[in-house]
Amino acid sequence: MNSRRILAGSVVALAVMASGCTGTGGSTKGADAKAPADPAKVSGTITVLTQRTDLVQDGTMTKYAAAFNKTYPKVKVKFQALTNYEAEVKIRMNTENYGDVLLIPGVIKKSDYPKFFASLGTETERSKKYRFTDFTTVGGKVYGQSPIGVMPGFVYNKKVWQKAGASKWPTTPAEFLADLKAIKTKTDATPYYTNFSAGWPLTSWTFVNGSVHCDTGATSKIADGDPWAKGADLRVGDQLLYDTVHDGYIEKDPTTTNWEASKARLAKGEIATEWLGTWAIIQFQDAAKKAGIDPDDIGFMPFPAQVDGKFCATVGPDYNQAVNVHSQHKEAARAWIDWFTDKSGYDKDNLAISPLKDAPLPTVLKPYEDAGVKLIELDDSKGAKVKLVDTESEVGINTPDYRQKLVDLARGAGKGSLDDFYADLSKRWTEAQKNAGS
């Protein structure tokens, strides 16, 4: 139990990262990364930071770079894959050396974007062609662009759901629970898998926001209102998670869940459902192929809520790519972002939604088109405030803690009542709103 040394270690880590602070900002503030006029003339070596360790290891990224070099022969692209992306980049961003192209970490305050990143252009100009521009807009200028769009939803095993007699997507939380009950009684599968241990899959329940009431202004409502008021989007989602757990439709021991293993288990039909996002489909299909199962068994469905008889799903950006404001090769870096977004095919390779406004939906979302699911984009103008209130209140809608507590509460391992739990969240949230200003 000599963890004192570990403490000392973490203290050192804290302080070392702290000591590098205040090195950034200043003269380069507000710089632009302009698109190169002539692709043949851009030169330089750029370093691209990515969280996709898998794609760097299996050489996929190098293939992208090779294709990129056909248009931009003089630019050399190097990749750095970071296993724990958020934490590592955050520390590196205390220096000027954080790659030429990077993904904007969640921790950076939106108002600080101009201090860290070079602008890609104005919003009026970019929003004509691209989706999600307002997620990175500060003062009318756009600082990042996501190469793919993602949509939250349930990944499910079609065969298991059919076997349970649920051939149509549930349209209300009550119907969803009834279907899970049918799965539990009629099949051997675990109706819903929480991924409690990994934590972040629980966090993705926050993305329920917007699809319950089909409201593009849902984020602003969280920023200015109470997300746990009766009928509010987050509460509807949390309530569904609570009921699912409380009624015993989840795995026996959530505390030792295994995310990697869950992919194959869902493909094999041992697990029926998981709340994730479109980005997960390809991973589950790969797991199915490896297990010798037809990847078409993997289905995807929206949150069980309808407005005027239509489902609604929110399309949002994944990590946004940005140019380091201190980069020596801003044109080359910009060229990479443009090429990767428009021409790399990264979105198609991931069966994801294209960030280009005029691109068609991926084939995997054909059922969505057939069912007439309405796709909406949330207005993110109050996104920065939500982040601020979230950290100030320490509720953590973007961290796993509070939903882990919710799951514990639901399965009887935590103390207290659900009403008190919601009340506490509301109280902390609304109090933090007062401090966060407007």
Partner 1 sequence: MTDTTEKAAFRAAARDGAAVPQPPPAPRRARLWRGLTPWLFLIAPLALLIIFTYAPIANMVAYSFTDWDGVSPELHYTGTGNYTELFTREDLFQVFFVSGYYLVASAVQIAAALYFATILSFNVRFRNFFKGVLFFPYLINGVAIGFVFLYFFQDGGTLDTVLGLFGYHSDHAWLGTSTSANVSLAGVSVWRYMGLNFVLFLGAIQSIPGELYEASELDGANRWHQFRYIIAPGIKPVLSLTVILSISGSLSVFEIPYIMTGGATGTETFVIQTVKLAFQFNKTGLASAAAVVLLLIILAVTWLQRRLVPDDRVDLV
Is 27 a binding residue for partner 1 by CB under 8 A? The answer is no
Neighbour-count burial for 175-195, b at 16+ CB within 10 Å, e otherwise: ebbebbebbbeebebbbbbbb
Q: How far is the CB of 363 from partner 1 (least distance, A)?
A: 37
Q: C-beta of 263: minimal distance to partner 1 in Å?
A: 17
Sign (positive or negative) of CA dihedral 65, 66, 70, 75: positive
d(CA 180, CA 301): 14
Helix ranges, 352-400 (H): 366-371, 383-393
Per rule CB under 8 A, count of chain residues that contact partner 1: 52
Instruction: Outline where 117-172 has alpha helix (H).
Output: 123-126, 158-163
Stretch that binds partner 1, among 86-94, 163-171, 315-323, 368-376 (CB under 8 A): 86-94
107 makes contact with partner 1 (CB under 8 A): yes
Residue 15 burial by Cβ neighbours in a 10 Å radius (0-12, 13-18, 19+): exposed
Q: How does DSSP classify residue 384?
A: H
List 33, 108, 305, 373, residue binding partner 1 (CB under 8 A): 108
Footprint (CB under 8 A) of partner 1, residues 238-257: 251-256
| 112 counts as binding partner 1 under rule CB under 8 A | yes
Per-position x/- string for 299-318, each x denoting binding to partner 1 as judged by CB under 8 A, each - no binding:
--------------------
Asked if 22 interacts with partner 1 (CB under 8 A), we say yes
> Pick from 217, 243, 401, 430: which binds partner 1 (CB under 8 A)?
401
Could you tell me if 130 and 357 are in contact, meaning their C-beta atoms sit under 8 angstroms apart?
yes
Q: Tell whether residue 115 is a contact of partner 1 (CB under 8 A).
A: yes
- Between helix 233-246 and helix 418-436 the angle, nearest 10°, is 150
Q: In angstroms, what is the minimal distance from the CB of 425 to partner 1?
A: 14
Whole-angstrom distance, CA of residue 298 vs CA of residue 282: 9
**Pick from 35, 81, 87, 361: which binds partner 1 (CB under 8 A)?**
87
Inter-residue long-range contacts of 217-222, CB under 8 Å, 24+ positions, other chains counted? 217/378, 217/379, 218/314, 218/378, 219/378, 219/379, 219/380, 219/381, 219/382, 219/383, 219/386, 220/379, 220/381, 220/382, 222/382, 222/386, 222/397
- Cα(373)–Cα(306) distance, integer angstroms: 9
Pick the piece of the chain touching partner 1 (CB under 8 A) from 194-202, 240-248, 313-321, 366-374. Answer: 194-202
The least CB distance from residue 394 to partner 1, in Å, is 5
Q: Which is nearer to partner 1, 76 or 428 (CB)?
A: 428
Instruction: Out of 19, 45, 71, 162, point to the residue binding partner 1 (CB under 8 A).
Output: 19
DSSP conformational letter for 205: G
| 253 to 282: interface string for partner 1, x by CB under 8 A | xxxx-x------------------------
**The two three-digit tokens of residue 402, written as one number:** 């509070």
> Residue 284 and residue 279: Cα distance in Å, rounded?
10
- Distance between the two ends of the chain, CA-based, in angstroms? 46
Pick between residue 309 and residue 437 the one whose CB is nearest to partner 1. Answer: 437
Q: How far is the CB of 4 from partner 1 (least distance, A)?
A: 5
Answer yes or no whether residue 12 interacts with partner 1 by CB under 8 A.
Answer: yes
Residue 72 touching partner 1 (CB under 8 A): no
Backbone φ and ψ for 313, nearest 5 degrees, come out as: -135, 140
Which CB atom, from 19 or from 69, has the smaller least distance to partner 1?
19
Q: Which is nearer to partner 1, 9 or 360 (CB)?
A: 9
Residue from the set 278, 404, 426, 433 that interacts with partner 1 by CB under 8 A:
404
Which member of 88, 134, 171, 199 binds partner 1 (CB under 8 A)?
199
CB of 86 to partner 1, least distance (A): 8
Which residue in this structure is represented by tokens 């009921």?
243
Residues forming contacts to partner 1 in the complex (CB under 8 A) are: 1-4, 6-8, 10-12, 14-19, 21-25, 87, 90, 93-94, 107-109, 112, 115, 196-197, 199, 251-256, 258, 391, 394, 396, 399-401, 404-405, 408, 411, 413-414
